[in-house]
Amino acid sequence: MGTKVGNALAATHAHGGVAVLDKGNGKAALAIGTANLHQFSHGPSVPECDESVMIAWGPCRNKGNAPDRRRPFNLPGGAKARHNRTMVEFMDFCKALLAKAGAAGFGVLAERKLDYGRQYELSDAGGARAVLSCYHGKKGFSFVTGGKHGHRLQEALGGAPKAAKTSELDPFGLGFPHIGGDESGKGDFFGPLVVAAFYTHKAGAAKLIEMGVADCKTLSDAAVERLAHLLKPGSLTEAGLGLSMTLMPREYNVRYGATGNLNVLLAQLHGECVAELLLRLGSLRAKAAAPQAVLIDQFASNPRVLQQALSLPEGCRLVTRTGGEADVACAAASVLARAEFLNGLRTLSTEYGQDLPPGAGTPVIKAGREFKRAFGAPELAKVAKTHFKTLASL
């Protein structure tokens, strides 16, 4: 092992951090903390490392096995090296999944590169085909199975990714079919307010779970946008039918000014979105049965706000629940809403040539001050929700 790298690793291992042991056979053993040991194949893409080792990144832990919040040492190569290490880890993640699939009798027929990962077309000896899509993002790695026999592959791989808690089929006993609704952007200074609604039946709910649909808060942004694309908003698919409504800041500020109450505005938008979805379902009567219930993730303590805004058909009841995304239709709505919020925020950032971050914290205040200096205070009404207290900090 090279002296420079070896010294750094020895020093780090002494503090309970990351240690790499030269196996002398083109492989390295990676120890993370004091417990886990993984085998990694040597990869030449990792820069400035001895040819007999491959280094991957992991969290440091102290002697008490609690997370060590101290800054880990910087490996050679900077951002590019960290990216390369992440890609090596990602490929190892893919290989582990393919090994599990292989143990279940699936072999790789084809492989292709995706924007945020890789996709594998698989088949077993009997010709049963499935698709494995692996993704990398800021929140880690994830996978989604698909194809006619995707459910078999999902079972072989041990279910959905641990980071994304899979929604239950019908946790609130609503019956099928039903509609779920959720929103995105109500706590974000920059960007739009979006509401979405998703209609599904029992078979569709099972399909949503098979796809990996979950509460958007448990998913990376890349996974959210990928799933939203698969859900095909506005089109009836085997999973159901979903759509969203977006209020960009200019219109949002006008409508908020007319109501003076965010919950009232949200209720109005949910009412409009559900009404449009019911209208489309009405034109598809031969293919879509009437919903038995509409579930909205609870955002107001008084349900009357929503009751007054929604006009539901006979036999369809309104249900509000905290943590409504435990229902897969509501989770699908959260995915559509989040994807549209991200799209709206990206559109505004491109229009003004400035990064407009989500949220309402310190990075947002910094970006707001820069925007105000560059374009003037009045222009903020075109990119931000001006009733937020954040405005006073700019």
CATH class of 160-394: alpha beta
Spatial separation of the C-alpha atoms in residues 268 and 111, rounded to whole Å? 46
Tokens of 282: 């009405």
Q: List every span in the chain annotated with CATH 3.30.200.
A: 78-159
CATH class of 78-159: alpha beta
CA dist list (Å): 264 to 252, 308, 317: 13, 10, 20
CA dist list (Å): 299 to 28, 98, 182, 243, 386: 51, 42, 9, 20, 20
Tokens of 299: 């955002």
Instruction: Encode the chain (394 residues) as per-residue pLDDT tens digits.
Output: 444 334 333 334 333 444 444 434 444 434 333 333 333 333 333 333 333 233 333 344 444 444 444 334 444 455 666 677 778 888 888 988 898 888 788 889 999 998 889 999 998 877 888 999 998 887 778 888 888 788 788 878 875 444 334 456 899 999 999 999 999 999 999 999 999 999 999 999 999 988 889 999 888 888 899 999 999 999 999 999 999 999 999 999 999 999 999 999 999 999 999 999 999 998 887 678 899 999 998 887 777 889 899 989 889 999 999 889 999 999 999 999 999 999 999 999 999 999 999 998 899 999 999 999 999 999 999 999 999 999 999 9
- The per-residue pLDDT for range 45-81, each reduced to its tens digit, is 333 333 323 333 334 444 444 444 433 444 445 566 6
Q: List every span in the chain annotated with CATH 3.30.420.10.
A: 160-394
Spatial neighbors of 204 by CB under 8 A, at least 6 apart, are 177, 237, 238, 239, 240
Spatial separation of the C-alpha atoms in residues 57 and 50, rounded to whole Å? 16
Supply the pTM of this predicted model.
0.61
